[in-house]
Structure 1
């Protein structure tokens, strides 16, 4: 058997072994399946958020961008790390103290039912789209690096079976425990792969001589440009504060302190991976100038020693696995908690609720695979939908830090306007007066929230919100 394929097969076997161990913990009840029994230690929180952040876009995507723009592509992961730091400092502990499972649940508790309905629509669309992207990334990694065994379709099917299977078996416990392996493998594979890719081209000095305009290419800023870097920062900080994936990890921590410290440690874990991946892309540019970036990285990796190539391949795929499991669980949680349990079967017992969650993982896993296989182009363009989390972030921040400005209709109308802005940005080019939709989302959502404060006389549930003053004391 091909050594690279053998390493990947062994990795999959270990992942499912971890998942079967996690099943015993997850089967204790729905809270254990969705939130690991709210018992994640700071270390498990850290590897969970790092695993969520370091996906295909943060490794393969960064390397491909670096092939064209140079070292500055690594700022994509720095932006994710900044989001984890801000989440740890401002919000992770507060989410844990609120004893919620989803953002829509929080919206109904503090605002009203229609706020919950519109937020679950927005959140679940975002989660399904991003989950679909992981299938595309997983298929592309296997097809590019093991073309003799996988094409894009079979790579996506294999990725989907692993993503769905692990999540279905062990839920959040599976994601948390497997990320101990995933993050370790990502670090080992990325460091070894980067070192060997650079060494194979004679070192950084020889690479600089082989690349035109190397001063710009090796600049930490010039290739991407400050505008792009700031847009990455704005998007990643915004989505980390309110997207279901990070929120669910925070809510699964054993206490507020574990949530806060776990996100801060996770940010440190995320920080260096982007620039390591960028160096691989730069080495690929020196080795294979003038070809598509998507082809250059697989070529240079597979030219390495088979064991090194296999470890690097497994690490890149591990990055995708670590992201997909948490995202898929987040999508299922939104469906089961905010749609099925809230509006369809309100009085189900915990055993029934656990079954609904498992079925949701399976069905949404199939749906997201179909999305990835059928509308890849649309899915890729919709990654801008992360900007929709601006509305959720604005509402959360006011809820926690300025509850006196919150009104009953704040959640509904701020989210509605956020959706409208995103749709208009996509279909009405004339409104693109700013360099990225995230800036327009922040301006419009803030104005909307404050206007509602002036004209809506019905306050949010301030008596509940005021209890937050004891959070993290």
Structure 2
């Protein structure tokens, strides 16, 4: 058995050990299972949001992009870090103080039932697409780095077993404590790989001398148009406020102050990883110039000694696991809270509801795995999918900061237009003069919201906060 495989097996065993350790706590009720009893500390919130942010796109994807455009690829993670910081400053404390569970619940509380239904549908689509992406990425990582053990589909199946199993057993408690291990492993693996890979390549100066002269590879502002980088920031700030993953983490906080502090600390943890992975992509450009860009990070990692490559392999897969578990839990929560409990069985007992949540997560996990087996190009559409949260964030920000402009039908029509806008963007190339779908989404959502404010005369009630914010 190879050293790399042993390290990965130990990591998997540790994750399942943590999950079974917290199972008794998660079994106490739906609040414990879905929101960790609303007892998460700032540290657990920080590693949770870091684990959610630092997935396959933030590691393998960034290195792949850096292989083509240089250090500027690292801005993807910087954008996620900015999203976490803005969430901490603007929304995390308010969401926790409102004692809500999901954005669709927020929509019905202050708007109407139609707003809850359409936002739940939109969010389930987003979470399902991103969950399927994690299966694809997990399969690619295991198949690339352990080809004698895993085929691509075999890697996807193993990833699914771990993703679904950990989430199913311990809920947010399991995800939270597992992310302590995952985030530490990510930092150890990526930092050591950067040090060893740069050293093996002869140092930064030697690397720079061998790079193609067509681009200033180490300039973080070269290689990618500024409009695209700004678009990444807008997308990530937008989704961080209303996507179910960050919302669920915020709602699991001990109190509003803890929620704010945890997201701000998470932003600090997220920021460096992108530029470190971009550096590995640049090293691959020099060391393995003829490989495909997708193989940039795997190829560099496997050129290191077995212990280093095994640790980094586990770190890359840890990034995928940490993202997938939180997203899978969020997708299950949306269905069970906003569809099953609200419309199918409102009087369900809390004990039975925990079982329903577990069955929902299992079902969502299998459906998204099937989707991953039968879909292609998910990575290319991930940013577009996250852009679907524009309408939700638009409604949330107006509700919190300008409730006088909010009307009963604002949530429904703004979300509907936001969803239709993505379809229009795909089929009307002339709109691409805006360079990124997020600009188009914000434009149509704000215009729609303001039009509804004029046409609809029925105001909403002013948002209430259950606890005093520190």
C-alpha displacement at 1:213, in angstroms? 1.8
What corresponds to 1:437 in structure 2? 437
The alignment of Structure 1 onto Structure 2 pairs a total of residues equal to 470
Q: CA deviation at 1:379?
A: 6.4
Task: Measure the CA separation in 2 of the matches of 1:221 and 1:358.
Answer: 45
Question: CA offset at residue 427 of structure 1?
Answer: 1.9
When residues 383 and 372 of structure 1 are mapped into structure 2, their CA distance, relative to the original with a 3 A threshold, is farther
Q: Partners of 1:377 and 1:72 in 2: how far apart?
A: 23
Distance 2:375 2:126 in 1: 15
User: Deviations 1:81-138 (Å, cap 9, x if unpaired)?
Assistant: 0000000000000000111111001100000000001100101000000111001111
Q: Which residue of 2 aligns with 1:371?
A: 371
Trace 1:143-154 onto structure 2 (pairs within 5 A). 143-154=143-154
* Residue of structure 2 in register with 1:472 after alignment: 469
Partner residue in 2 for 1:404: 404
SS of residue matched to 2:311: helix
Is 1:132 matched up with 2:132?
A: yes
The alpha-carbon distance between structure 1 residues 382 and 307, as it changes in their structure 2 partners (threshold 3 A), is closer
Give the corresponding residue for 2:172. Answer: 172
TM-score by length of 1: 0.97
Q: 1:469 to 1:96 in 2, by over 3 A?
A: closer
1:334 aligns with 2:334: yes
The TM-score normalised by the length of structure 2 is 0.98
C-alpha deviation, 1:294, in angstroms: 1.7
Q: Which runs of 5+ in 2 are unaligned?
A: none
Give the 5 Å matches for 1:284-295. Answer: 284-295=284-295
Contact 2:129 2:378 (8 Å CA) reproduced: no
Contact 2:215 2:223 in 1 (8 A): no
| TM-aligned CA deviation for residue 447 of structure 1 | 1.0
Equivalent in the alignment of 2:64: 64
**Structure 1 partner of 2:86:** 86
Which runs of structure 2 are paired with 1:21-420 in the superposition (5 Å)? 21-213=21-213, 216-377=216-377, 380-381=380-381, 383-420=383-420
1:449 maps to what in 2?
449
Gapped runs of 5+ residues in structure 1?
A: none
Which secondary structure does the structure 2 equivalent of 1:216 belong to?
coil
Change (3 A) 1:220 1:88: same
Residues in 2 aligned to 1:177 and 1:296: alpha-carbon distance in whole angstroms = 31
Q: CA deviation at 1:215?
A: 5.6
For 1:191 and 1:381, locate their aligned partners in 2 and report how far apart those are by CA, in whole Å: 29
Matches of 1:91 and 1:8, distance apart in 2 = 37
Which deviates further from its counterpart, 429-438 or 114-123? 429-438
Note if contact 2:132-2:372 (Cα within 8 Å) is conserved in structure 1.
yes
Q: Separation in 2 of the partners of 1:67 and 1:272? A: 18
1:129–1:383 CA contact under 8 A, matched in 2: no
2:448, 2:433 → 1: CA distance? 19
